[in-house]
Amino acid sequence: MIIPLDLISGVLSFLFTLLIFSYLIGDNPLFRIAVYIFVGVSSGYIAVIAWWQVIWPRLIQPLISAMLSGSLLEKGLIFVPLLGAVLILMKVSPRLAGMSRVVMAFLVGVGAAVTIAGAVAGTLIPQVMGSINAFDTASVAGKDFSFYIELVTNASIVLAGTVFTLIYFHFGARAKADGSTRRNGLIEISAWVGRIFIGITLGTVFAGVYAAALTALIERIMSLIDFLGNFL
């Protein structure tokens, strides 16, 4: 007798859903079993992905190709990442951990450069351009004046939110005669407005996350009901 795959997946889904829901009555061995299985499966999946998409095609295959048919320069270059990987593995030994500092410094420097460049090119510049393009009236050309008012209002809110939020993270302050420090009054007011924009943004994000979590919960409950309905 061949057991249908849909039945097996349905039983496992039903079982693990109940194990996770058991956390509602407190931490217990059933919930821990589900978590351990999830962590183990996730670790195995990540290891397989890392091997077949990173280690094998980007290290092992180029190394084999260079050793078999590559030039002397290619053979020398291919050993650079291999040497770096070996030096990083030296961190497992306290006596040899110092040998990995150069490689770690290189990785941290490259990572910081990529992160900063990505933040500027992917976040800062698009945000500035978005605030500028929000005032583009070409989209409402020839339409009623109310569309123009709506465009300017929305663009002004976007621009104000961007400016006041950036001012909120301005921590420059001047020292007073009594030794205390305080920011300029205009900066303080602008930072207070920026705090309001940040609160609205975080509240909106939390509402979205909460709604997504409720949607997932409802979907799981409905799947349990449907699974039980098939056997009743």
Four-residue CA torsion sign, 65, 68, 73, 77: positive
Lowest mean pLDDT among 15-19, 33-37, 40-44: 15-19
pTM listed for this prediction: 0.62
* Least confidently predicted of 50-59, 76-85, 99-108, 208-217: 76-85
List the one residue out of 162, 163, 170 whose CA is nearest residue 188.
170
> Is residue 35 a contact partner of residue 26, using CB atoms and an 8 Å limit?
no
State the pLDDT confidence band at 32, using cuts at 50, 70 and 90. Answer: very high
- pLDDT more than 70, % of the chain: 94
**Pairwise CA distance, residues 135 & 155, whole Å:** 6
Per-residue model confidence (pLDDT) at position 197: 93
**Can you give the pLDDT at residue 35?**
92
